[in-house]
Every structure is written in C-alpha cells, then in structure tokens.
C-alpha cells in the first residue's frame, strides 16, 4: 500500500484546503487511510483546536479535532476515480502553516476494485 503525500499552506486566518490530484483515466484508487498533519512556522503559535475535515464528492466522510496530527483509516475504504473528488480542509491551523495530507491507497484498473477484493463502499 503506497502513500501519496500532498501539501498546501494555510491562509492568514489559518484555514487551508487541499484537493487530491485527479486520478488518471482508466484507474481508480482505493483510499485506506488519510493522515493529516500541520507544521506551523516557527513564529506562529496555534491556539485552540485544529480541525481537519475529509470530504468525498462534497460529502463529509471524516472529521478530527486533532487536525494537526490525526488520521482517518480503516474500513469502509473509499474508491476514487477520475470523476471523483477527495478534499481535506483545515481550520485554525495557524497562519502560513504547512498542512500535510498523506493518502494510503491501492491502485486498480477501472472497474477492478470491488467490495470483495478491497473493502470499499
């Protein structure tokens, strides 16, 4: 199960949005875990709770109040194809903080991933 790491920076209010790159035509990814982390600049103090939300096709599938160091994993897994979106948002991450999402996935040919061989929903 490989990992794909993607980063973005929080805005001046400490908010950030990261969209998983589009999956290539003819493929699907089965996402088994999404890890989230935040690295604030050395001069930024984060006060309050960092919240991370994970959305698939604009539907909330997971949320953590440990958005600076948490993960969402385990079944059910989610299949992401070329026409799907997977978005991670952070709130209160600290101005200019680096927000990191680590996607653990398996890659399959289109139509090859199913509930019997991957645990997807």
Whether 114 is covered by a domain: the verdict is no
**Position 116 pLDDT exceeds 70:** no
How many Å from the N-terminal Cα to the C-terminal Cα in the chain?
18
Run of H or E residues at 93: none
Q: How far apart are CA 93 and CA 13, in angstroms?
A: 8
pTM assigned to the model: 0.85
Contacts 24+ apart (CB under 8 A), 111-115: 111/28, 112/28, 113/28, 113/30, 113/79
Please tell me the least confidently modeled range out of 11-15, 17-21, 96-100, 111-115.
111-115
The answer to whether the beta carbons of residues 18 and 97 sit under 8 Å apart is no
Quote the mean pLDDT of the chain.
86
Instruction: Summarize pLDDT for 42-100 with one digit per residue, the tens.
Output: 888 887 889 999 999 999 988 876 655 555 656 678 889 999 999 999 999 999 999 99
Whether 120 is covered by a domain: the verdict is no
Whether 85 is covered by a domain: the verdict is yes
Structural domain boundaries enclosing 74: 3-109
What local confidence, expressed as pLDDT, does residue 68 receive? 54
Whether 118 is covered by a domain: the verdict is no
What local confidence, expressed as pLDDT, does residue 88 receive? 96
Whether 13 is covered by a domain: the verdict is yes
The total domain count for the chain is 1
14-22 mean pLDDT: 93
């Amino acid at each position: 199960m490989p990992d794909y790491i993607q980063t973005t920076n929080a805005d001046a209010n400490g908010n950030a949005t990261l969209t998983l790159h589009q999956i290539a035509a003819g493929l699907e990814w089965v996402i088994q875990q999404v890890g989230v982390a935040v690295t604030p600049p050395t001069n930024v103090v984060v006060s309050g709770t960092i919240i991370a939300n994970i959305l698939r096709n604009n539907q909330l599938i997971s949320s953590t109040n440990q958005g600076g160091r948490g993960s969402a994993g385990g079944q059910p897994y989610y299949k992401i194809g070329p026409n799907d979106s997977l978005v991670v948002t952070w709130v209160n991450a600290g101005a200019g903080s680096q927000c990191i999402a680590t996607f653990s996935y398996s890659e399959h040919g289109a139509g090859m991933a199913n509930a019997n061989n991957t645990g997807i929903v």
